[in-house]
Amino acid sequence: MTSKRIKSALISVFYKTDLDKIVALLKKNGVQIYATGGTLDFIKKLDDSVRSVESLTGYPSILGGRVKTLHPKVFGGILGRLDNESDIAEMRQYEIPALDLVIVDLYPFEETVRNTTDEAEIIEKIDIGGISLIRAGAKNFNDCLIVPSSNYYKEFMEMYERQDGCTTLDDRKRFARYAFQTSSHYDTAIFNWFAGDNATPLRYGENPHQKAVFNGNLDEVFEKLHGKDLSYNNLLDLDAGLNLIREFDEPTFAILKHNNPCGIASRPTIAEAYDAALAGDPVSAFGGVFVSNRPIDLKTAEEMNKMFFEVCVAPAYEEGVLDILFTKKNRIVLKLKSNNFPSKVYKSALNGILEQDRDLHNETKDDFKAVTNKTVDNQNDIDDLIFANKIVKHSRSNAIVLAKNKQLYASGIGQTSRVDALKQAIAKAGSFNFDLNGAVLASDAFFPFSDCVEIASMAGIKAIVQPGGSVRDQESVDACNKFGIAMVFTGYRHFKH
């Protein structure tokens, strides 16, 4: 059966938030609910027809609550194959009711680990029955829908109402995927605690012959929805991309390659932002990391799916989007939880570790000091200078960024001379047929000579933002005045190595 009406449900949850809404929907549709412990007590206040699991199994909760649902009448009801005559006969013989829906919210193991070092308390928060219910429901997705976490309550309720109390096979498979993701994450957290650290083994380091681990809790940053394991290089790109994208308030899409933005744009919609970001360098975007500061909608997903990319991260995905993005087996799809990172950054050097403050300074119009005869008065030009300056801050030094209409036209990055970075950016913009007339330029550090201004003028650059601070600043100012270019100093350098 592909479409199936939910007639019975087993609910066993730790946190009860929004459970009242689910119970109301199930009650409205005449669903028989079974529950345990605190969940039973909660539901009784909402639906007096709820039955205890003990009334089904004939056994009470024992061993201080450690054993409640671990019984053949429970798991037989979940795992029974309703298209298998033998299973049906045994279920009748042993009076096992079929369970069409299982809702679980596991003991908060990770939260407990964060809040205490008491081993006994931590051990008691290792869920046994709940994780077993999740795996059983997921295994028998043909007949049972499993909601493995409160994170999926909203999606379940919307689907349940839309389909008038029924589930499809595709629904049950999708939630089974959520279930195994939830159980995998939960077991990994337990393993990490027993291992005595928070180290996550990675496939390899920067290169296949290098071993690598990640020391930290990635689950605080994002939820992995799909794809292969993250690599060392994936994590570096994600770190660069998430630090970049949080600089922008309006809908913005960034494409990262080797820790540098190769495409980024801000637009009224995320679909428009993606198109403009991709246009910045569709060649480098191949195999890149895609980062959005808005939910991905269907239009954007359909365009993204035409490209090969390694990773996508966004704060949310609209209905139907994941079905599109999941069509590539190894594509990594992440749901962002937080991009608020520590205020300190560290890097190994020689036989020790370097520590510094994170570069959190964001220049605004108030930081711009006009130093040329021509000033920047047009709001679009001011916005473009701020936009370009944000990008150059997150590009490898020496770095030059060329932008127009809040779109990255090209950048020159990682060069040993600033003039080479500019030449690289101009050449790259030309290779993608961008007209640099009226574009702006941002530099992560001062111009040591006036040659960059001279080259920029020949390319059609109309305004420049740079820190200033060179003993030859006046030469660059004079060159700007000669060529009719506006230039502002910020007083803030943004080297990135």
For residue 370, what are its two tokens?
């006009």
What tens digit of pLDDT does each residue of 317-354 get?
999 999 999 999 899 999 999 888 888 888 888 988 88
pLDDT for res 193: 80
Element (H, E) at 189: helix 169-195
Amino acid at 29: N
Q: What is the pLDDT of residue 172?
A: 93
Q: If you compute the radius of gyration of the chain from its CA atoms, what whole number of angstroms results?
A: 28
Cα 479 to Cα 307, 381, 449, 470, 483, distances in angstroms: 43, 20, 10, 14, 6
Task: Give the residue among 231, 287, 226, 279 at the shortest CA–CA distance from 256.
Answer: 287
Task: Give the pLDDT of residue 65.
Answer: 67
Average pLDDT score over residue span 47-57 = 82
Give the model's pLDDT for residue 96: 86
Q: What amino acid occupies position 496?
A: K
User: Which one is predicted more confidently, 297 or 60?
Assistant: 297
Region 210-226 average pLDDT: 87
Structure confidence at residue 393 (pLDDT): 94
Answer yes or no: 226 catalytic.
no
What pLDDT is recorded for position 83? 85
Say which residue, 126 or 312, is predicted with more confidence.
Answer: 312
Query: Poorest-confidence range of 61-70, 100-109, 444-453?
Result: 61-70
Give per-residue pLDDT as tens, 15-28.
888 899 999 999 98
- pLDDT category at 199 given cuts 50, 70, 90 is low
> Of 72 and 208, which is predicted with more confidence?
208
SS3 content of the chain, % helix, strand, coil (to 5): 40, 20, 40
3-state DSSP assignment of residue 250: coil
Distance from first CA to last CA of the chain, Å, rounded?
58
Task: Give the number of residues written for the chain.
Answer: 497
pLDDT of residue 303: 97
User: What's residue 94's pLDDT?
Assistant: 81
Residue for token pair 């949080």: 246
Question: Is the model's pLDDT at 476 over the cut of 70?
Answer: yes
The whole-angstrom separation of Cα 220 and Cα 95 is 44
> Which tokens in the block code for residue 212?
């690598």
What are the backbone angles phi and psi of residue 485, rounded to the nearest 5°? -105, 140
The dihedrals phi and psi of 291, each to the nearest 5 degrees, come to -130, 130
Residue 1 has pLDDT above 70, yes or no: no
pLDDT for 116 equals: 81
pLDDT of residue 294: 97
pLDDT at 223 over 70: yes
Among candidate residues 139, 328, 374, 423, the one labeled active-site is: 139
Q: What is the pTM of this model?
A: 0.65
Q: Sorting pLDDT into bands at 50, 70 and 90, what band is 485?
A: very high
Looking at residue 192, its pLDDT comes to 79
Q: Establish whether 71 is a catalytic residue.
A: no
The tokens describing 205, both together, are 């380091």
Catalytic entry in 228, 258, 299, 374: 258
> What is the pLDDT, as a whole number, of residue 400?
96
Instruction: Give the residue-averaged pLDDT of 388-412.
Output: 95
